[in-house]
Structure 1
Amino acid sequence: MASTSYRALRLVSLLGSGRVWPLRELAARLEASERTVRRDIETLRRLDYPIITVHGPDGGYRLGSGHTLPPLVFDHDQAMAVAVALQTAPATMLGLGDDAARALATLHQVMPPSLRAAMESLRLTRLRNYWEFPGPPIDPAALTTVGAAVHRRHELAIETLRPDGTRPDPGDPDFHPPRRVEPHHLVVWAARWYLVAYDPADDQWRVHRVDRLHPRPTTHPFTARELPTDNLAHFVMSTHDRADTLAAWDCTGSARLALPAHIVARWAPGGSVVEHLDDEHCRLTLGAWSWAGIAGILATFDTELTELRPPELVRACRRLADRWATLARG
């Protein structure tokens, strides 16, 4: 009986992931025969679990919606995943650290003793290394507004904020009139939240930093458009005018690169800024804890570098060139 109950809970947990599970894959995961899994599925159906059979070559079973289900059905691996995720989540939302700690404490209280012990064994301290670029915290209300607009397919009225999060006044160089966009997707990259949206006013797809937006919901629906690419990650990373701002570093420098902005934007480190100059050139501004660090990053692009600024960066490049020349001779 205990084995059957555990297998049934494990089955509910798998089906609750939202995907369609082929019978043979469920049997392998549960280490049971296909006949046993079918019997367990029928048992759960008699208990009013809405398990749907999906026919066809890609068919199987999935859990339907619209019924009241137990609030938490975690197996060991899921409990461990939640414990790790809550303790390592980047602090990109205001107050997220405290909320994550409270969520972990709540889960501890409702978990069975065996799972609680497993989660408590994963108490950890998360340390930042020098190459992590913490994104600016986002107001949860703003993120909720954007996410709801994406989900409901409603136009979003947006205003662009200053890098410090304040709203510019009319006449300010940073001021842009409010405009309506069609929000399609949210992307998180390098601890920053980006909105992929279509701007009907100028017939362009754009990438917006969510922390640089003051969004207001509307009730005006729009029809989903074909996205500009099948690879949204590539689209976001290769868009150079995504309103990124320079991260704070001890040393900050820039150079003109003989590469298009969309190429450099994809491979430049988070917290840097890429400026489009022409179809074949761009300017990259970035920071590091030393001038040699900036020079080393610039060297990874393996292209002609000109207009290096400031003089400290030029001197660092010369020192590295001398070292490499000595290595080459030796």
Structure 2
Amino acid sequence: MNRIDRLYALAEELRAAGARGRTARQLAARFEVSVRTIERDLSALGQAGVPLAAKQGRTGGYSVDRAMSLPPLNFTPREAMAVAVALSRSEHVLFARDSRTALQKIVAAMPQRDLDEARTATAKVRLLVQRTPDPDGEVAEQIWRAVRHSQVLRIQYTDVGGVETVREIEPQHVVVGPNGSYLTAWCHLRQEDRVFRMDRITKAERTATLLLRPPASDELHVDGYETRLPDAALHPEDLFPTPT
């Protein structure tokens, strides 16, 4: 997490904590940085106008007045419940942490009465859980960066028969499904589109190799399923029909 993102997340963490606040040590553990770094960040937030309060003593810590900063969005209790349920379904190693912080921002922006109603409603929902093998976190991060930046990956891959190969691939899509997660890619070794189980990729490193893939073919079927973009793909206008 870069510093700008951490500063924003730090302010949201303190807003969500309310009057209880957080100690510098708790914040350092939460963001996986040193206490000294957190103290510098808190100083920067104070200089930027965030209304921080510091309480001394054994039970002391830092807090921020939730009423002093306007939330960018207001969610109804049912909207918050819907988002919480949707985010709870994303336990993939690539998205788990971001799902938690996204939900934390929603919670921080809600009035207490609406938050209590959303929590009560959400407690009446249950999810069916199907355990699937997760890829290694560091490997998954390298894969995601290569997908985002259109870089060639050198991977160490073990197939279903236990045969291990090292190959260079051009990642196309991360595919999250009910039976696990996959990577679709153009394989330099096989010279064709291939689908790789991400939990079978034991090593991944980005390279400076030039992209060689021919013009894109149709999207692959993965694990017997068709693939599609997440709903609206962050284009909410696609959710509504165009007026005629």
TM-score (norm 2): 0.50
1:219 and 2:220 are equivalent in the alignment: no
Instruction: For residue 143 of structure 1, report the CA deviation from its aligned partner.
Output: 1.9
Q: Indicate how the Cα distance of structure 1 residues 178 and 116 shifts in structure 2: closer, same or farther if over 3 A, else same.
A: same
1:158/1:181 contact within 8 Å kept? yes
Alignment length, in residue pairs?
A: 154
1:143 and 2:140 are equivalent in the alignment: yes
> Which of 131, 156, 159 lines up with 2:153 in the alignment?
156
1:92/1:136 contact within 8 Å kept? no
Higher RCO structure, 1 or 2 (CA under 8 Å, sep 6+): 2
1:94/1:137 contact within 8 Å kept? no
CA shift digits 1:57-78 (9 cap, x unpaired): xxxxxxxxxxxxx884254365
Rounded to whole Å, the distance in 1 between the matches of 2:148 and 2:207 is 13
Q: Indicate how the Cα distance of structure 1 residues 126 and 198 shifts in structure 2: closer, same or farther if over 3 A, else same.
A: same
User: How many percent identity over aligned positions?
Assistant: 26
Alignment correspondent of 1:237: 223
1:187/1:194 contact within 8 Å kept? yes
Alignment correspondent of 2:119: 120
Q: Indicate how the Cα distance of structure 1 residues 175 and 190 shifts in structure 2: closer, same or farther if over 3 A, else same.
A: same
Tell me the SS of whatever aligns to 2:209: strand
Task: Give structure 2 stretches of 5+ with no counterpart.
Answer: 1-69, 227-244
Letter aligned with residue 93 of structure 1: V
2:173/2:185 contact within 8 Å kept? yes
Letter aligned with residue 85 of structure 2: V
1:83/1:119 contact within 8 Å kept? no
Alignment correspondent of 2:170: 182
2:94/2:141 contact within 8 Å kept? no
Alignment correspondent of 1:196: 184
2:135/2:199 contact within 8 Å kept? yes
1:81 and 2:82 are equivalent in the alignment: yes
Q: Indicate how the Cα distance of structure 1 residues 105 and 153 shifts in structure 2: closer, same or farther if over 3 A, else same.
A: closer
2:142/2:204 contact within 8 Å kept? yes
1:80/1:118 contact within 8 Å kept? no
Rounded to whole Å, the distance in 2 between the matches of 1:72 and 1:219 is 40
Letter aligned with residue 222 of structure 2: V
Q: Indicate how the Cα distance of structure 1 residues 198 and 178 shifts in structure 2: closer, same or farther if over 3 A, else same.
A: same
Rounded to whole Å, the distance in 2 between the matches of 1:220 and 1:149 is 12
Letter aligned with residue 171 of structure 2: P
Rounded to whole Å, the distance in 2 between the matches of 1:208 and 1:119 is 39
Instruction: For residue 216 of structure 1, report the CA deviation from its aligned partner.
Output: 1.5
Instruction: For residue 101 of structure 1, report the CA deviation from its aligned partner.
Output: 5.8
Instruction: For residue 154 of structure 1, report the CA deviation from its aligned partner.
Output: 0.3
Q: Indicate how the Cα distance of structure 1 residues 144 and 106 shifts in structure 2: closer, same or farther if over 3 A, else same.
A: same
Letter aligned with residue 183 of structure 1: P
State the structure with more CA Rg. 1
Rounded to whole Å, the distance in 2 between the matches of 1:73 and 1:222 is 41
Instruction: For residue 114 of structure 1, report the CA deviation from its aligned partner.
Output: 5.3
CA shift digits 1:186-239 (9 cap, x unpaired): 11121411111001232111000111112212233526643331x44xx2234x
Equivalent runs, 1:52-63 vs 2, <5 Å: none
CA shift digits 1:2-57 (9 cap, x unpaired): xxxxxxxxxxxxxxxxxxxxxxxxxxxxxxxxxxxxxxxxxxxxxxxxxxxxxxxx
RMSD: 3.6
Rounded to whole Å, the distance in 2 between the matches of 1:183 and 1:146 is 8
Rounded to whole Å, the distance in 2 between the matches of 1:212 and 1:187 is 14
Rounded to whole Å, the distance in 2 between the matches of 1:72 and 1:159 is 44
2:156/2:165 contact within 8 Å kept? yes
Letter aligned with residue 196 of structure 2: H
Q: Indicate how the Cα distance of structure 1 residues 151 and 85 shifts in structure 2: closer, same or farther if over 3 A, else same.
A: same
Letter aligned with residue 123 of structure 1: T
2:81/2:119 contact within 8 Å kept? no
Q: Indicate how the Cα distance of structure 1 residues 95 and 162 shifts in structure 2: closer, same or farther if over 3 A, else same.
A: farther
TM-score (norm 1): 0.39
